Structure 1
């Protein structure tokens, strides 16, 4: 196992400007292709994120039209499942076939899934369309960050990751609002609207994203490099875990063998996958174990997993607070949650700029978790009578904590790894982020339902108590159902909601505390200021291109020495 100090020394030796402190001789993109590619990436992330959140509002209407019955849960979850499991394999394909072709295929797959979902006449067709959409979305989200890593030196990546990921946050803001509007008019346009966007971005990426890579002499040689066995084990075990999480508490009790068996098999498969990847049988692993050989990368992977859980935690529980405690409509709760997304966008960009300017990621991670814990702790005081300015400030604090992490974790992971491992590390990073989102949707729901059932004894109306138990409280939020009870019972129900949410927020504080502890495991490593990649833009015959300018700058510095 290579030590982190050895890796650090290698990186320092390979970079002529790796000192700590404010950046000197900053890399500045000036090529027109760079900015057009960046704009295209922002649009792709916006569409992929919008599609992930837009269906929440329209799901009841879609389920009724397609007679989905109990299968409605798969209309939403098939997308997330497919998006999650495809990313490490996609990362390996990017090393074999370059970045451009996998990106084009991902966009085409996403467009195909959108068309199928928009034209769905049966539940099975809708689920198939959503699954295909998820495969395309997973590839897009991973590749966007990978392309940024190829185009921008490590020291500057936080700035551009913050800019691109802000498009995702903007999509999450508009998702519920646009979903509500389109569901009222024609829900099929929730999916059809992706087609003209993909029709614009696909040729733009084909034209702009011409990147260098080592092409295999034959297709057979290229296909032989794919980690078929490892990918099969990984996708199978990941799907098994995700199926257990989806089934648990919704279709089957958590104690059911239908939930326990997939979870156990999935975790055993995950262990088997790691053993296989490190064995002599795996010639070209999709997840090389060397990316886990130092404490900084391992800490970064844990931080992205935990921060993804807590991000979804907040995004799930705040609308529940608005709908279950303040009795707002689902659409109104989406509007009330806009302050969180706005601050997430702004502070993400600020965090990226700070990382670029000072090159230190540990303070940003520490204060990110500190603000997250503070905001979550303040959320425990939320009640029916909390004023609007107060919960807006609470949202701002929570969002600021999350934003300090959003654009700064991937550069921290890359600091201790070589550029050779950029694709594999980005694939694992993207997988853990999506995997964390699934846990962030599952855990708070389980805790909320369990605590609500425990505290529901204070509800004097027996019928109301029975209807709201076993997950009924979550489903009843925002429906106006509680308003049908006498005022005394209404107050009791709201108090039960408040008590259950308070416990949910307390558990979130504990999770964030583990992330803050892991920040101390990270080691400070100077972020490389030079761009050294085999997958940069192909600049033959072009003037003013980013990589050409960077190469010229390196030559000038060498000559001056």
Structure 2
């Protein structure tokens, strides 16, 4: 694979004064308005992925659809994933503003439909429309950040914008539980005014330049990779159908699971073969043609797997082992959420200051190894200081990659690949979230089933078997007083053993990621902002030296 990045982006020959930190003086107010709007969108879209988890029982009881529980829970995730490569290509063809406004509009419309749903079909439709909007938001947030600042500065701003998602992950289940008890419809209706703020501000202030001004208009849609998307979208839906329904609706050995997974994998391979030869690929093969970008994509996937495994199963420790309520489990989760946010910002600042991503990646996954290792010693009598401290350690492992993986990906690519590379990054990150639930869930349920003989109560065994242990955890705080303490000690032991499998899995992934950092090369991060999609009307595109760029704009 090629190792030489294109001139003007990655390992360029920078002048000595380009090695100093960026000052970015004379930033216009609309720059900060756009950054704030993107951060709010990142928060809301991430919140909506998590907020529904604790409210789902109330929602299904109200509108019915217990038989469609899997799709009520996962329609948002599937819809937000499958269109991301297409969104990246549309951002290049139509510019950044139109796809962004449309994505936010889809999210608002889907929220209104979901909140007003009176049957399961309408609810799933609303969640799917929401997911389409959220998928576009995920991609475009990162693309626009890349358009606003040069490569070396991106980690800082990506950290600021995307770390708000960690806060959303922390408060989502708590807020969902509270609103679920009051009126679950406000989980969705509140999105409308909240998203309305960035919708209006982006309409007014996000005036971005567009490439190829001589060929503007909807006629440029002829450059969309229609065949590639026709192959990719159904293939991914088939694959995700198998992943989200396996072990829940059908056993993993069922042909109803194996067949869609096989079809999805074969279709995905066919998609990449097509992308290699088509004139206008949505995911060009060159994105993976150098080892640094390819390795950074792998690290992105692993970091997403780790973050999701923590987000789904650490609250199970708090609820089932410490016997905390859903509300307090959210409170106990705050060290991880805040630590992830702070780590993402610090990682971005350090990347901007020193321009070296490999030490940051190695350090992050080293912290991940230590943190997941420490989680394996948690028990029901563990002191709060221990699990708070352990969360802070492991948060570095999932926080730093948030702001440092995309700049590493772009270090070996041309600036013209920002949209497609960012769309692939966002897709791989989102796809990692799915695997971060699927694999740990398989491990968790299997070990629960294998250890059920340790529980003397037959009624509790029945409630915990075959995937029931996850939802049962939220009931522990209310039931513990009515069951003999010796029996609860047995239940606790089973949960601890099952959770330890998740933590060992996380430790293994962290170790593999640490080794994968060695594949990356330490390419120099560009200090010049060379983009055709920056803020329109800027009189000066400042570099790290504060000088005008070569275009003199």
Q: 1:205 aligns with which of 173, 194, 202?
A: 202
What secondary structure is seen at the aligned counterpart in 2 of 1:4?
coil
Q: 1:296 aligns with which of 289, 292, 310?
A: 292
Deviation of residue 199 (structure 1)?
A: 2.3
Unaligned 5+ runs, structure 1: 540-544
Unaligned 5+ runs, structure 2: none
Please give the residue correspondences for 1:425-444 in structure 2 after superposition, counting only pairs within 5 Å: 425-444=421-440
1:450 aligns with: 446
1:4 aligns with: 3
Q: 1:140 aligns with which of 122, 137, 141?
A: 137
2:39 aligns with: 42
C-alpha change, 1:51 and 1:557, in structure 2 (3 Å) is closer
Q: 2:340 aligns with which of 317, 320, 344?
A: 344
In structure 2, C-alpha distance between the alignment counterparts of 1:355 and 1:13, rounded to whole Å: 15
In structure 2, C-alpha distance between the alignment counterparts of 1:326 and 1:97, rounded to whole Å: 52
Please give the residue correspondences for 1:157-176 in structure 2 after superposition, counting only pairs within 5 Å: 157-176=154-173
Deviation of residue 397 (structure 1)?
A: 0.6
2:182 aligns with: 185
2:514 aligns with: 516
C-alpha change, 1:393 and 1:32, in structure 2 (3 Å) is same
C-alpha change, 1:174 and 1:503, in structure 2 (3 Å) is closer
What secondary structure is seen at the aligned counterpart in 1 of 2:55?
helix
Please give the residue correspondences for 1:252-291 in structure 2 after superposition, counting only pairs within 5 Å: 252-279=250-277, 282-291=278-287
Whether 1:221 aligns to 2:219 is yes
In structure 1, C-alpha distance between the alignment counterparts of 2:381 and 2:17, rounded to whole Å: 52
User: Normalising by structure 2, what TM-score?
Assistant: 0.95
In structure 2, C-alpha distance between the alignment counterparts of 1:96 and 1:556, rounded to whole Å: 24
Whether 1:533 aligns to 2:531 is yes
Deviation of residue 335 (structure 1)?
A: 1.5
Whether 1:310 aligns to 2:306 is yes
2:153 aligns with: 156
Which of 430-439 and 342-351 deviates more? 342-351
What secondary structure is seen at the aligned counterpart in 2 of 1:478?
helix
Deviation of residue 467 (structure 1)?
A: 3.3
1:327 aligns with: 323
2:68 aligns with: 71
What secondary structure is seen at the aligned counterpart in 1 of 2:474?
coil
Aligned length: 549
What secondary structure is seen at the aligned counterpart in 2 of 1:525?
coil
- C-alpha distance after superposition, 1:295-334 (max 9, x if no partner): 0000010000010001001111111111111222222211
Equivalent pair of 2:11/2:525 in contact (CA under 8 Å): no
Equivalent pair of 2:542/2:549 in contact (CA under 8 Å): no
1:411 aligns with: 407
Q: 1:247 aligns with which of 220, 245, 248?
A: 245
In structure 2, C-alpha distance between the alignment counterparts of 1:18 and 1:386, rounded to whole Å: 52
1:542 aligns with: none
What secondary structure is seen at the aligned counterpart in 2 of 1:385?
coil
In structure 2, C-alpha distance between the alignment counterparts of 1:181 and 1:142, rounded to whole Å: 30
Equivalent pair of 2:344/2:399 in contact (CA under 8 Å): yes
In structure 2, C-alpha distance between the alignment counterparts of 1:501 and 1:315, rounded to whole Å: 13
- C-alpha distance after superposition, 1:449-473 (max 9, x if no partner): 1011112222233343343221122
Please give the residue correspondences for 1:478-493 in structure 2 after superposition, counting only pairs within 5 Å: 478-480=474-476, 481=479, 484-493=482-491
Which of 116-125 and 168-177 deviates more? 168-177
RMSD: 2.2
- C-alpha distance after superposition, 1:124-160 (max 9, x if no partner): 1000000000000110111011000001000111111
User: Normalising by structure 1, what TM-score?
Assistant: 0.94
Whether 1:95 aligns to 2:87 is no
Q: 1:232 aligns with which of 230, 234, 246?
A: 230
Whether 1:122 aligns to 2:122 is no
Whether 1:402 aligns to 2:401 is no
Which of 206-215 and 242-251 deviates more? 206-215
C-alpha change, 1:14 and 1:373, in structure 2 (3 Å) is closer
In structure 1, C-alpha distance between the alignment counterparts of 2:107 and 2:549, rounded to whole Å: 44
What secondary structure is seen at the aligned counterpart in 2 of 1:407?
helix
Deviation of residue 395 (structure 1)?
A: 0.6
1:506 aligns with: 504
C-alpha change, 1:427 and 1:555, in structure 2 (3 Å) is closer
In structure 2, C-alpha distance between the alignment counterparts of 1:146 and 1:444, rounded to whole Å: 31
Equivalent pair of 2:527/2:544 in contact (CA under 8 Å): no
